[in-house]
Amino acid sequence: MKTRFPTIVVNVMVTFALTGLLSDDPAWAQQPERASAQSVSRPKPVWTPTADAPKGAISPGLESQHHDQFIERAKAGDIDIVFFGTTDTEMWNWRDRGLTVWNRRFASRRAANFGSQGTRLDTLLWRMRNGELDGYQASLVVLQLAGPGGHIDGGSPGSPDVIAEYAAIVAEVRARQPQARILLFAPFPRGAQALEAWRPISRANAAAVSRLVDNKTVVYIDIGERFFLPDGSHNQEMWRFPPLSGGVNVGTQTSTFEAWADAIEPFLNRGGR
C-alpha cells in the first residue's frame, strides 16, 4: 500500500545537519566530484502533460494544474536550483508566506519551485519521470520530506515502504540530474508541541532516512530546533498555530522561509556553474 503525503502537510523537524560541509572545512575540498552532465547518460526526456497521465498517476486539482506549468518551466531550461515538496514548499509562492523571501534570496539565482499541494510520494515520482526533471541542469535539488504529525514514515520507525519510495525518488533525481547535489529537508514542527515532544520525532526521522544520505551528493538537513523558544515552547513567529485562526496576520509569517533559505545558502556556491 502506498504511503502518501497528506494534502495539507503537518510538517515537523529538528537538527541542522551540516557537519563537515561548511565552505571553509578542508574535508569538503576532498570530497569526490559529482558526476558531470557529459559523463553520465541521462534517461530520455518524457514530457507527459496531465491530460495524458494514466488514471491515478497524479492528484486531481492543484497538482494536476501545476504539473503542466512545471513541465513548461522545465522545458524553458535555465534552472540551477529546483524545489520539490508539498504544501509548505508551494508556500514559497504565497505572498503571505515565502514569496518576499524567495524574491530576495532566490529569484536572481535561476531557481524554480515545483512544490504543490496534493503531492504524494507516488505522484511526485511520476511527475519526475514525466518532465519535471528534464530540460535543465541544476546544481541543487531541494526536496522537503513530509509525513503525518511530522513523522516521515507515518510514525513507524524505518517503515520500509516509505523509505523505499523516497529511495526511488532520490534515484530518479540522480539519474536525471547527475550533476546536482540533493538536499533532503526534514518536515517542520508546524504544530504547538514543545521541544521535548519534538526531539524524539526528529531523531526517528534522521534514523529512517540515514540510508539515503552520504553527506556528499545527498545531504539531510533538519532546522526544526529553530521552531522553538529557549524555554522549549513553540515559536509562534515561525509558524502560528492554528495558522489562520482569530484574524492572525499571516503576512508576518516569513521567519520559517528565512530560516529555510539560510540553511540552503551554504550550498549555493558549491560546485554550481
| Domain residue extents for the chain | 58-267
Nine cell digits for residue 239: 509558524
List the single range of 30-44, 78-92, 135-149 with lowest mean pLDDT: 30-44
Identify the bridge partners of residue 234 per DSSP, sorted by sequence position: 228
Nine cell digits for residue 165: 519510495
**Strand 111-113 versus strand 81-84 pairing type:** parallel
Q: Give the tens place of pLDDT for each residue, 139-197.
A: 999 999 988 778 887 665 556 688 899 999 999 999 999 999 999 999 998 776 799 99
The reported pLDDT for the residue numbered 155 is 60
- Nearest residue to 116 (alpha-carbon basis) of 77, 71, 151, 80: 71
**207 confidence band (pLDDT: 50, 70, 90):** very high
Distance CA 87, CA 117 (A): 4
Q: For residue 38, which phi and psi values (nearest 5 degrees)?
A: -80, -25
Question: Dihedral angle at the C-alpha atoms of 30, 34, 40, 45, nearest 10 degrees?
Answer: 180
Contact yes or no for 233/194 (Cβ under 8 A): yes
CATH of the structural domain 58-267, one choice from 3.30.465.10, 3.40.50.1110, 1.20.1630.10, 3.40.50.970: 3.40.50.1110
The helix (H) or strand (E) run that includes residue 240 is none
Averaged confidence pLDDT in the chain? 82
**238 confidence band (pLDDT: 50, 70, 90):** confident
Say whether pLDDT at 25 is over 60.
Answer: no
DSSP summary character for residue 261: H
Identify the bridge partners of residue 83 per DSSP, sorted by sequence position: 113, 142
